[in-house]
Structure 1
Amino acid sequence: MLWNGRRETTGDDGNRARAISRGASHLFNLGGPILSLVSGTTALQQGLGALARIEEVREMETEDDVDVTPARPTGPPPEVVVENLEFAYEGRTPTLKGTRFTAPAGAVTAIVGSSGSGKTTVFSLIQRFYDMDGGSIRLDGTDIRSLSRADLRRRIAYVEQDSPMLAGPLRENLLYSAPDATDEAVAEVLRKTLLDEFVAGLPDGLDTEVGARGLALSGGERQRLAIARALLREPQVLLLDEVTAHLDGLSELAMRKTVEQAAENCTVLLIAHRLSTVTSADQLILFDDGRVGDHGPHRELLERNDLYRELAATQLASAR
């Protein structure tokens, strides 16, 4: 009702207003618990997913021949012979279909080809992360299946595209794979990987902190340090998987020199999409749909092979 030009609240109106106020208050108080319930449900689903994945990993078959420390391999670098290699991932069409090639001892063999042609799969089989379905891989005539995985992997060093660095000093990152390496051995691999001057210019030398995942280093420095770490193990075979994929021109040039130095003491197999990285290799192996389409020096392949010429033209176009 109106009284003196103002609306007076009747008893019913007042009750309604108080009821609305109480309802809004209850609704507001429920907001927190509802939000917590939704967050808890989300966390529960994430936890169940993680638990399922943990169970999958726990039930995986384990390798029973790796928990030993084999002796350091001796002798010259071996010839790597891949003969009629057959392999298919579970539930998929064959990845390798009679692949065969030879990587000469103490030389750089570059493997090139389009994505999905089986290059990285060959590296996985050389290290026996998987066992081949057919064919063989031999190191100086010895079938790798006759060696324990520990013995085989002691002869091989693998550097991947994004090589991990641990938070801590350079020295600990280098010695991670060879804790008993001497100062002289460390100095030698730094020279071979063209890192000796870089380390000498650091304020704390080898005791300089690299930061989490090596963030204090450039991409080229991280990759060369990864190769130095691999060489400290004194492997007979060095596998390099796309180590120049994200490097600039100057870093790539330094990496090419590093690879050439590494080949003085081991057989090097190198995967690369950037052909500028591999033109100086002793031989190139061209993969085409799980098979070796051709092999030979860069200039010969460029002259006679259409697929290689197409790959080279694509690389030159993308470099502009």
Structure 2
Amino acid sequence: MSTTEEKTPTPPPPVRRGPGGGGPFGGMQGPVEKAMNFGPSAKRLAGRLSPERWGIFFVTILGVVSVAFAVLGPKILGNAINIVVAGAISSTMPKGLTQEQVIAGLRASGHGQQADLLSGMTLTPGAGIDFHALSMVLMGVLALYVFSSVFAYLQAYVLNGITQRTVYRLREEVEAKINRLPLKYFDGMNRGELLSRVTNDIDNISQTLQQTLSQLLTSLLTVIGVVVMMFIVSPLLALIALITIPLTLIVTMLIARRSQKLFVAQWKHTGELNGQIEEAFTGHALVKVFGRHREVEEQFRLKNEEMYKASFGAQFISGIIMPAMMFVGNLMYVVIAVAGGLQVASGALQIGDVTAFIQYSRQFTQPLTQLGSMANLLQSGVASSERVFELLDAEEQSADPAAPKSPVGTRGRLEFQDVSFRYTEETPLIENLSLVAQPGQTVAIVGPTGAGKTTLVNLMMRFYEIDSGRITLDGVDIASMRRDDLRSRMGMVLQDTWLFGGTIRENIAYGRPDATEEDILDAARATYVDRFVHSLPDGYDTVLDDEGSNVSAGEKQLLTIARAFLAQPSVLILDEATSSVDTRTELLVQKAMSALRADRTSFVIAHRLSTIRDADLILVMESGRIVEQGTHSELLAAGGAYYNLYNSQFAAAISEDV
């Protein structure tokens, strides 16, 4: 990319949706009242897993095998208990009798209840405990649990890869989306709020998927497997246990409904708080200068309190789910213990079966409790996903043409033909503007604040699309060109400099990544960067931070000018490009600019009219219209708007009552 784009010029922004609304001391927004549309958002989030369908199928198979081994364990352990109990009772019986004879004797002696109890067992009077059979059963249980753990580990390993690849694709999609969004989207979005969606919300989605997918799958499979085993052991007790399912669903739904909107508010306030902190810290020096730190602290306290209330409410209400599930599970445990004891007493079940069923009841309530406890994670994750989807659904800039055109050569003739544009439908800005900038010509644009000077630059770069008319570059309508092709032919140097974390050499080469070392040095010498670089400890290898705080404001400006010089664009845009340099350096930079502007079209936005006296054409703008145009001497002789602007800067001080 050879275009040198500093901080993009922005128009008068529309109403901001982030906090603060216009500086560190802007108004605060109230809490979010509209609840999240949980179902569609959750479905859409689940749809993100569709590229991993075969992996999910494999994970499901691993989960089925793992759960199958796990749920067989209590049943087999019940057999081990039956062996122990039957052996202990058999050792108290006289040898030589059969089980039927012992039971008949008990009934004859009036011990019918004991007879019913023994009739449900397999006894060998006088035999004692069969330790060989017991050891074989225990070894089988151990093998089942080992295999279950191995398959559970494999399931977790594969599922972790699925989750991380899904979030990786989501981050890529968000990054690509940001590059396709028009400039007006960023004008209306608080930067901290946008960063919160890209970082905090995506991290929360990752955490939600990571913690819930495995647990959700395992819990559902465990519920199914346990229900099957409970019906095998005792259909009556199984029916009693199933009564808890509608109870748990009702409790979960009632609690989840109340916590949904609180989770939406929690993440909304998180973004707003990030935006306020970013805004206040960016203007930290200004806050100190005007003594407004107490107001900033108070606004932070209020917003922090709003976030605390929303977070506390969301976590507290959703946190009630798990204790409620445990209460329902304990009720079921009591009912099963009583009903199971009665069945053992009647001989319908063995003690080992009841013991196994009680374990199954615990295994049954535990995944239901886990599903309930996951409700807060799911709601939080879906709330974050809704905010990310809102970003992904934002209206994009128009697509590049399917058959793009490109100017032949690099002459740099730029023409506006009856161009009209407005930022908002009800407020006209530029109406039927026409102008021609010839190759090699320097066009200066002057006028009061809000006249449309920067808007003109935005339209040249296609940061915004015009409402009517056309703009051509070397005879080709820029709307028929690819944006990257158009911008590669333009270089921009703005009053607000932008440097990234890297060396001075890398910052200069940003305008032309394929530049050689000699090209970089030539650009640095031509723009007088070479003068101060040698005074730095590491020269061109000096590392700048993202704010460029280890060089002065003037030196930063020179670096951005060198970047534009290296890019060698056919159209050069300078927006108060020398405002941060001292008078002596400005004279040197003006010479460099003269060389840079040679054989290419240059647009210079200037407030200091002394810097554009030598321009080939000066356009005077007011309210989006060109009211005057001509050379410096012609416009002064005309005695119009330019004459008034010029005199306002160079005449004596104006009295306060003028």
Range class of TM-score, shorter chain: 0.7 to 0.9
- Report the 3-state secondary structure (helix = DSSP H, G, I; strand = E; otherwise coil) of the residue aligned with 2:544: coil
In structure 2, the partner of 1:149 is 483
Q: Let me know the Cα RMSD of the aligned residues.
A: 3.2
Q: Which consecutive residues of structure 2, in runs of 5 or more, have no partner in the other structure?
A: 1-300, 312-383
Paired amino acid for 2:566:
L
Paired amino acid for 1:121:
T
- Give 1:124 shift: 0.6
Q: Which of 589, 604, 614 pairs up with 1:255?
A: 589
User: Which stretch of structure 1 is more off in the superposition, 261-270 or 125-134?
Assistant: 261-270
How far apart in 2 are the matches of 1:83 and 1:300?
Answer: 24
In structure 1, the partner of 2:306 is 41
CA, structure 1 residues 37+132, in 2 after alignment: closer, same or farther (shift >3 Å)?
closer
8 A Cα contact 2:613 2:632, kept in partner: yes
- Give 1:40 shift: 4.4
- Give 1:178 shift: 2.2
- Report the 3-state secondary structure (helix = DSSP H, G, I; strand = E; otherwise coil) of the residue aligned with 2:560: helix
How far apart in 2 are the matches of 1:221 and 1:73?
Answer: 35
User: Which stretch of structure 1 is more off in the superposition, 146-155 or 174-183?
Assistant: 174-183
Paired amino acid for 1:297:
T
1:281-320 equivalent positions in 2, closer than 5 A: 281-317=615-651
- Report the 3-state secondary structure (helix = DSSP H, G, I; strand = E; otherwise coil) of the residue aligned with 1:213: coil
How far apart in 2 are the matches of 1:53 and 1:91?
Answer: 27
Q: Which of 221, 241, 259 pairs up with 2:555?
A: 221
How far apart in 1 are the matches of 2:391 and 2:573?
Answer: 27
CA-to-aligned-CA distance 1:252-303 (integer Å, 9 cap, x gap) = 3233223212112532111111112211222211112211112121121111
How far apart in 1 are the matches of 2:303 and 2:555?
Answer: 46
Paired amino acid for 1:226:
T
- Give 1:175 shift: 1.9
User: Which stretch of structure 1 is more off in the superposition, 276-285 or 124-133?
Assistant: 276-285
In structure 2, the partner of 1:21 is none
Identity rate of aligned residues, in percent?
39
User: Which stretch of structure 1 is more off in the superposition, 242-251 or 283-292?
Assistant: 242-251
In structure 2, the partner of 1:178 is 512
CA, structure 1 residues 44+223, in 2 after alignment: closer, same or farther (shift >3 Å)?
farther
Paired amino acid for 1:41:
E
CA, structure 1 residues 229+53, in 2 after alignment: closer, same or farther (shift >3 Å)?
farther
1:59-98 equivalent positions in 2, closer than 5 A: 59-63=393-397, 65=399, 75-98=409-432
CA-to-aligned-CA distance 1:145-186 (integer Å, 9 cap, x gap) = 111112111111222221211233201111223222101211
Q: Confirm whether residue 129 of structure 1 aligns to residue 477 of structure 2.
A: no
- Give 1:114 shift: 0.9
How far apart in 1 are the matches of 2:468 and 2:303?
Answer: 52
Q: Confirm whether residue 279 of structure 1 aligns to residue 613 of structure 2.
A: yes
8 A Cα contact 1:252 1:277, kept in partner: no
How far apart in 2 are the matches of 1:53 and 1:118?
Answer: 34
How far apart in 2 are the matches of 1:230 and 1:73?
Answer: 21
8 A Cα contact 1:73 1:236, kept in partner: no
In structure 2, the partner of 1:209 is 543
User: Which stretch of structure 1 is more off in the superposition, 113-122 or 243-252?
Assistant: 243-252
In structure 2, the partner of 1:169 is 503
CA, structure 1 residues 264+63, in 2 after alignment: closer, same or farther (shift >3 Å)?
same
Q: Which of 577, 590, 594 pairs up with 1:243?
A: 577
8 A Cα contact 2:417 2:471, kept in partner: yes
How far apart in 2 are the matches of 1:110 and 1:42?
Answer: 49
Paired amino acid for 1:215:
S
How far apart in 1 are the matches of 2:464 and 2:643?
Answer: 32
How far apart in 2 are the matches of 1:266 and 1:126?
Answer: 15
- Report the 3-state secondary structure (helix = DSSP H, G, I; strand = E; otherwise coil) of the residue aligned with 1:214: coil
Paired amino acid for 1:313:
N
CA, structure 1 residues 52+255, in 2 after alignment: closer, same or farther (shift >3 Å)?
farther
Specify the structure having the higher radius of gyration (Cα): 2
How far apart in 2 are the matches of 1:57 and 1:267?
Answer: 38
- Give 1:192 shift: 2.5
Q: Which fold has the larger relative contact order, with Cα–Cα distance below 8 Å and residues 6 or more apart in sequence?
A: 1
User: Which stretch of structure 1 is more off in the superposition, 215-224 or 192-201?
Assistant: 192-201
In structure 1, the partner of 2:244 is none
How far apart in 2 are the matches of 1:130 and 1:281?
Answer: 27
CA, structure 1 residues 304+132, in 2 after alignment: closer, same or farther (shift >3 Å)?
same
- Give 1:123 shift: 0.7
- Report the 3-state secondary structure (helix = DSSP H, G, I; strand = E; otherwise coil) of the residue aligned with 2:420: strand
Paired amino acid for 1:287:
M
Q: Confirm whether residue 270 of structure 1 aligns to residue 535 of structure 2.
A: no
TM-score, structure 1 as length reference: 0.76
CA, structure 1 residues 182+130, in 2 after alignment: closer, same or farther (shift >3 Å)?
same
- Give 1:304 shift: 0.6
Q: Which of 175, 187, 211 pairs up with 2:521?
A: 187
CA, structure 1 residues 63+250, in 2 after alignment: closer, same or farther (shift >3 Å)?
same
- Give 1:64 shift: 6.3
How far apart in 2 are the matches of 1:292 and 1:56?
Answer: 40
In structure 2, the partner of 1:107 is 441
- Report the 3-state secondary structure (helix = DSSP H, G, I; strand = E; otherwise coil) of the residue aligned with 2:635: helix
Aligned residues between the structures:
279
- Give 1:247 shift: 3.8
- Give 1:45 shift: 7.7
Q: Which of 463, 468, 474 pairs up with 1:140?
A: 474
Paired amino acid for 1:257:
K
Paired amino acid for 2:454:
T
CA, structure 1 residues 58+282, in 2 after alignment: closer, same or farther (shift >3 Å)?
same
- Give 1:116 shift: 1.0
